[in-house]
């Protein structure tokens, strides 16, 4: 029998929702893990990461915030062939990154007066610390999409997520109910699809948790948005899921 690929599922600082998105798949997820050897998954297993085993694929959720987070992340990078980040926190800093747009030293003092005892770095993505081989985006990730991608990754293939906008999957596309047609803000046209436009389907606009499309020039779109929303609000909206940095030069 062929040796099963070895995987690990790790979490830095986050809500851990992306790991729960996997557990929520229930049998489908357990069937996937049967094709692999799960070396470490602290959320549901007690055995710690063994020293001498190399991983084929490591899935990493969360933002590196504490110095321990950074040490563990670097160790994972050393121990694995492929490092795959899952979710908005790992990919783009997540909601944690809102802090970057305020005075972080003042912020921490709002709650903890003895603040020197706590890690309070500028929020950065995992890829700012180590080489990332693949990103599964979203807040949280879509479990089904994870499975499709992970099946390829454990075979050693690096798949591609099609560069299409969220609108291409949206129930409101071309209809009067489209947020933009109603002159309400929605980032759908410039955001990577694959989520099945789950937010607009719930009559909630897209705030871009999956990140900005790579093959587009968003300048015209952002200029058009200014007709329906103030510059200040657009900027604040882009800050929620950490996509403002990528668009700064077009604003």
> Which positions touch other proteins (CB under 8 A)?
11-21, 23-24, 26-27, 30, 33, 38, 42-48, 63-66, 68-69, 94-96, 98-99, 102, 107-108, 110-115, 117-120, 139-140, 198-199, 201-204, 207, 233, 236, 240
Closest CB to other proteins among residues 77, 104:
104
Least distance to other proteins from the beta carbon of 59, Å?
15
Q: How far is 145 from 111, CA to CA, in rounded Å?
A: 38
Closest CB to other proteins among residues 153, 197:
197
Closest CB to other proteins among residues 1, 111:
111
Half-sphere exposure of 40 (CA within 13 A, CB side): 22
CB 176 within 8 A of CB 153: no
Least distance to other proteins from the beta carbon of 83, Å?
19
Least distance to other proteins from the beta carbon of 158, Å?
26
- Residue 121, token pair as written in the block: 């770095």
Q: How far is 32 from 18, CA to CA, in rounded Å?
A: 16
Least distance to other proteins from the beta carbon of 54, Å?
21
CB 210 within 8 A of CB 194: yes
Closest CB to other proteins among residues 68, 152:
68
Least distance to other proteins from the beta carbon of 137, Å?
14
Closest CB to other proteins among residues 113, 214:
113
Q: How far is 148 from 135, CA to CA, in rounded Å?
A: 13
Q: How far is 36 from 169, CA to CA, in rounded Å?
A: 32
Indicate the helix (H) or strand (E) that contains 40: strand 37-40
Closest CB to other proteins among residues 33, 173:
33
**164: phi > 0 → left, psi -120 to 50 → alpha, else beta; which?**
beta
Least distance to other proteins from the beta carbon of 177, Å?
11
């Amino acid at each position: 029998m062929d040796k099963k690929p070895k995987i690990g599922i790790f979490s830095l600082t986050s809500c851990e929702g992306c790991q729960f998105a996997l557990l929520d798949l229930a049998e489908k997820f357990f069937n996937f893990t049967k094709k692999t050897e799960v070396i470490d998954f602290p959320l549901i297993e007690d055995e710690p990461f063994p020293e001498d085993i190399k991983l084929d694929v490591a899935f990493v959720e969360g933002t590196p915030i504490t110095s321990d987070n950074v040490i563990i992340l670097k160790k994972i990078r050393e121990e694995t062939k492929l490092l795959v980040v899952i979710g908005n926190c790992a990919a783009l800093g997540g909601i944690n990154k809102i802090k970057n747009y305020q005075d972080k030293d003042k912020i921490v003092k709002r709650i903890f007066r003895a603040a020197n005892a706590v890690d309070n770095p500028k929020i950065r993505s995992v890829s700012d610390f180590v080489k990332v081989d693949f990103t599964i985006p979203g807040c949280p990730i879509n479990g089904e999409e994870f499975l499709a991608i992970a099946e390829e990754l454990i075979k050693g293939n690096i798949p591609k997520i099609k560069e299409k906008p969220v609108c291409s999957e949206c129930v409101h596309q071309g209809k009067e109910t489209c947020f933009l047609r109603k002159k309400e803000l929605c980032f759908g046209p410039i955001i990577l699809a694959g989520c099945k436009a789950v937010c607009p389907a719930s009559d909630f606009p897209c705030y871009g948790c999956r990140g900005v499309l790579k093959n587009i020039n968003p300048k015209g779109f952002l200029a058009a948005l200014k007709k329906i929303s103030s510059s200040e609000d657009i900027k604040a909206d882009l800050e929620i899921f950490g996509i403002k940095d990528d668009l700064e030069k077009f604003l």
